[in-house]
Amino acid sequence: MVSFQVKISWINLYLNALDEKGQPILDSENRTLLDRVEFHESDLLAYCRDNDIQLERIVGCIPQILNPNPDAMSKMITENASEEFLYSLSNYCALQGFVEDQFGLGLIARAVEEGISVIKSTGIMIFNMGGRPGQGVCKRLFERRGFCITKLWQTKILQAADTDISALVEIEKNSPHRFEFFMGLSGDQPICARTAWAYGKAGGRISHALSVYSCQLRQPNQVKTIFDFLKSGFQEISGSLDLSFQDDSVADEKISFLAYLSSIFKETACFPYEPPAGSLRFRSLIAGFMKKYHHIPLNSGNVVVFPSRAVAIENTLRLFSPRLAIVDEHLTRHLPRQWLTSLNIETEIDRAANDVLTVIDAPSQSDLMIELIKKLKPQVVVTGMAHFEAVTSSAFVQLLDVTREIGSRLFLDISDHFELSSLPSSNGVLKYLAGNSLPSHAAILCGLVKNQVYMDLEVAFVISEEEPILKALSKTVELLEGNTAPISQYYYGCLFHELLSFQLPDRHLPAQRKCDKSASSTDIIGFSSSAISVLNNAELSLDQIENSCLIHMDVDQSFLPTPFPVKAAIFESFSRQNMSESEIDITTSIKQFVKTTYGFPFGIDFTYADSSLTLFNKMVLCCIQEGGTLCFPVGTNGSYVYSAKFLKAKIVNIPTKSEEGFKLTECALNQALNNVKTPWVYISGPTINPTGRVYDQKEIENLLTTCAKFGARVIIDTSFSGLEFDYEGWGGWNLEGVLSRLYLSSSSFSVCLLGELSSMMLTGALKFGFLALNQLPLIDLFHSFSGLSRPHSTVKYAIKKLLGLSEKKSGEMWGAVTRQIKDLRSRSRRLEETLESCGWDVLEPHAGFSMVAKPTLYLNKTTRLKNAIDYEVKLDDSNIRGAILKATGLCINSSSWTGIPGYCRFTIALEESEFQKALDCIAEFKRIACL
């Protein structure tokens, strides 16, 4: 049956398709409106969407329908009537969809979002809008969804006398918002709903505006991608989306990134492995930008990525450990205080007794810097350039010459002169590199902070043409940071990609560059002896070769699917604007988390970083500064042990036994601490990495009691916890009672709580570590080492939201975590069965995503690998890693990494197909090795 509305529409069509004589009106193609118009009944634009119809124009006159429950808005505001909530509501930076629903615009908003999917890129939407909610609200409905709008026409119409606007009065009573009415048709000054209600009750006639808006998508393809993603299960966060911008450059940048993020989340279930040097894609984009825009022939291998410029500088100085370094005064703010106060600038022999790196800060003006370099003869120079000197290459050449002459390493910072633009202005350094190779003693440093949208989001990179320098710098990232947060690389990678997309392919051969004739690297400072020892002996990540098919069971990362709530939280954090301080203040949530999970209410200072490894390394520096000895149980995560060695900490290994699951025991701890002065004890728990065993409440109480007896400082690392297989029976820890008692018994005893939420909360591209300290002297000492890569505000927003969801112990987030735990438990059994069938003795894990096993069948067996030319080896628990890699492409950790004689480490949090390949590789190696 044809509806009344369709019948009226047919009548209107005939009235407009025929002339006064009833003859068809023909257009230029000899067709009439009757040939071009169709009528269909549909739920808004469902017919067009279902039939894949793309439209040039969408015209709508949709009624504004208030929420049928007038108390809804009042109730919502009353329950959330904090100052921050009301501020966000009045500024439209939160709960957009909810506000639109309450203002009667929900149906129109839905029509607009459906229209995005069916409108052509050049199409236009035209909407007839009543102005009661206010012109700002009406315009924002379109602008925050990525439209540029033009007001085509406006008038006033009288409000029907029988329309009840009391619900609007209630909204105004409880919120800062004011609706927009007029007194009669001639009034020009808007009045609020309360005034309009009173005026109407007194017999007056009120009116409201009626406007016609023409709307066109600002970036059609990207906006369509964003809303296509939101439709795939993320409708709840559409209310936080805000694509309205005053500045076109900001709009272009943010919309492009949100579209890119949408594509990743929709097409990728999990985030892939990235090498410590940085994402291969991101490094290739940096090199491509340098090649296309500045004609510098670089490749991804010339680039190493760091979390920030400050981290890059500190890591570099630790790598070379120079007697004396001169650093631009603008770049010393985040360096350790001890470096900036030391006056030990004499000979290497004098320095050996103290072993404190000395940094002299200096002005960046090149003539003054050069004078200091000549007089002080530093071994490393880190400097920027004044703007007036960066225009030409002369200042850079002078710096190259003087540092080469005295045998100094030069790291030149170009952050202030590097532009992410389609028309970047060049500078003297980049002009020089276009025609000359970078000398072996020099490298370029650049911190990326000049984006238009997220002003405090940073990532940095170092460019060098010396392979040993690049490899060593990459290893410092792995040792001291873990890796650079992927989300930062995604953001800047998106900017580089957009800029490269606008660049035409260069059809000319690259210009010939002059070869460097500088002194060889033996004439200048090399890596410190301690750094060389660690870099040569540490079992670090294998170099990732482009298009290689390595399977990584050797990294502390989860490659399991990222659940909907996590994707939603990440996307919402980047799509929001004007987030209030309370929304990104995560300390209250973290305090609640550590109290609920571990019964740890003692933190008075909370510090956050991109990873727990970063925070751990600062604690190692505190230990060194106090003259302490770092005590590791045998069977500690190898990455932590290598990091401590790289930082030159004094280390003691506490024996553990296989029959006790390689757990630290009260007896072994007591015996070890008897011989240690100023002990610092590292405990991984409740879940121990890498064994996957768990300390229960009684065991941790015994360990802490022993530590208190010796006045030890204790670092409890919870980074690998939260995935206990028996999660229903696991009661967790409650440290409050035991710590309260022990703090009274010892003044020097202290416990800090270290953690990382990335693995437990399945955050994928996000990294978030925390450290809770509770002793003022230690807090002051810790903050003297300030060079931390801190989480961006978007990360804190997302983590806070996820913590809130996790606290409920129900819902989709809790369901995702429990599914992951069940999956990890199942995988541990599958891996255990495979290993045992292939001659390995397995220590059964009870939690987490790693296990250890002993290659009993293969020890002392001499084998020859057919696919590796002339590779014959007598297998042991150390070289079996290399043998498995050569034979199958599977990466594991050997006993050199686990610290447990005879035992290797396997991680199981791989993508499912990769995990199955890993099991196949284990079986394949048995077949090869046992021929």
The pLDDT tens digits for 649-660 are: 999 999 999 999
- Least confident segment among 184-188, 406-410, 749-753: 184-188
Would you say residue 535 lies in a domain?
no
Beta carbons of 303 and 466 less than 8 angstroms apart: no
Does any domain span residue 570?
no
If asked whether residues 327 and 473 sit together in one domain, one would say: yes
Mean per-residue pLDDT for 734-743? 92
- Tell me: the pLDDT tens digits for 740-759? 999 888 788 999 999 998 77
547: left (phi over 0), alpha (psi -120 to 50) or beta: left
Q: What is the mean pLDDT of residues 471-486?
A: 93
Residues 264 and 122 occupy one common structural domain: no
Interval 795-810 mean pLDDT = 87
**246 and 105 assigned to the same domain:** no
Q: What is the pLDDT of residue 173?
A: 85
Are 487 and 590 members of one domain? no
Q: Tell me, what's the pLDDT at 895?
A: 94
Write the CATH number for 113.
3.40.50
Q: Give the structural domain span for 680.
A: 586-813
Asked if the structure places residue 1 within a domain, the reply is no
Residue 170: CB atoms within 10 Å: 18
Across the chain, mean pLDDT equals 87
Rounded to whole angstroms, how far apart are CA atoms 312 and 925?
40
pLDDT of residue 521 exceeding 80: no
- My answer on whether 81 and 147 are in the same domain is yes
Q: What is the DSSP string of 134-161?
A: -HHHHHHHHHTTTEEEEEEEEEEEEPPT
- The length of the chain in residues reads 931
> Same structural domain for residues 147 and 173?
yes
Q: How confident is the model at residue 890 (pLDDT cuts 50, 70, 90)?
A: very high
**Does 381 share its domain with 464?**
yes
Side chain identity, residue 659:
E
Residue 662 burial (C-beta neighbours within 10 Å; 0-12, 13-18, 19+): buried
> Buried b / exposed e across 376-393, counting CB within 10 Å, b at 16+?
bebbbbbbbbeeebbbeb
Cα radius of gyration (the chain): 32
Question: Structure tokens of 476?
Answer: 């410092």
Least confident span in 62-76, 309-323, 324-338, 374-388: 62-76
- Among 183, 198, 217, give the residue marking a domain's end: 217
Split at pLDDT 50, 70, 90, the class of 85 is very low
pLDDT recorded at residue 577? 82
Give yes or no: residues 668 and 597 share one domain: yes
Taking the C-alpha atoms of residue 620 and residue 605, their distance in angstroms, rounded to an integer, is 18
Query: Bridge-partner residues for 713, per DSSP?
Result: 680, 750
Lowest mean pLDDT among 301-305, 651-655, 800-804: 800-804
- Are 217 and 146 contacting, i.e. CB atoms less than 8 angstroms apart? yes
Of 74-78, 220-224, 558-562, which range is least confident? Answer: 74-78
263 and 307 belong to one structural domain: no
CB contact set of 343 (below 8 Å; sequence gap of 6+):
358
Indicate if the pLDDT at residue 18 is higher than 70: yes
Shared domain for 620 and 478, answered yes or no, is: no
Binned at pLDDT 50, 70 and 90, residue 99 comes out as low
Q: Is 727 among the domain residues?
A: yes
Is the residue at 376 inside a domain? yes
The Cα 96–Cα 729 span in angstroms is 42
**Mean pLDDT on 666-692:** 94
User: In this structure, is residue 117 part of a structural domain?
Assistant: yes
Residues 6+ apart with CB under 8 A from 660: none
Question: Which pLDDT tens digit goes with each residue over 150-173?
Answer: 999 999 999 888 888 888 888 888
Mean pLDDT across the stretch 728-735?
88
Q: Is residue 577 part of a domain?
A: no
pLDDT level of residue 102 (50, 70, 90 thresholds): low
Place 517 in a pLDDT band, splitting at 50, 70 and 90: low
Q: What one-character DSSP code corresponds to residue 39?
A: -
pLDDT at 558 over 90: no
Token readout for 233 is 């299960």
Q: How far, in Å, CA of 112 to CA of 126, rounded?
A: 10
Q: Taking residues 880-907, report their average pLDDT.
A: 93
pLDDT at 509 over 80: no
Give 414-454 pLDDT, tens digit per residue. 999 998 888 888 889 999 999 999 999 999 999 998 877 88
Whole-number Å distance between alpha carbons of 715 and 683: 6
* CATH of residue 371: 3.40.640.10
CA distances from 64 to 14, 133, 197, 332 (A): 29, 10, 18, 59
CATH of the domain at 847: 3.90.1150.10
pTM of the model: 0.89
Rounded to whole angstroms, the Cα distance separating 431 from 389 reads 13
Residue 700 has pLDDT above 90, yes or no: yes
* Cα–Cα distance for residue pair 352/81, rounded to 1 Å: 62
pLDDT of residue 739: 93
Q: Which helix (H) or strand (E) holds 261?
A: helix 248-267
* Exposure string over 66-83, b if 16+ CB within 10 A, otherwise e: bbeebebbbebbeeeeee
Contact 474, 276 (CB under 8 A): yes
pLDDT of residue 870: 62
Is 727 in the same domain as 708?
A: yes
Q: Which one has a higher pLDDT value, 80 or 802? A: 802
Assigned domain for 545 exists: no
Q: Do 189 and 223 fall within a single domain?
A: no
- Domain count of the fold of the chain: 5
Domain final residue, candidates 436, 471, 504? 504
Give the mean pLDDT of 375-391: 91
Helix H or strand E encompassing 213: strand 206-217
Least confident of 57-71, 618-632, 793-807: 57-71
**Domain end: 813, 830, 849, which one?**
813
d(CA 918, CA 849) in angstroms, rounded, equals 14
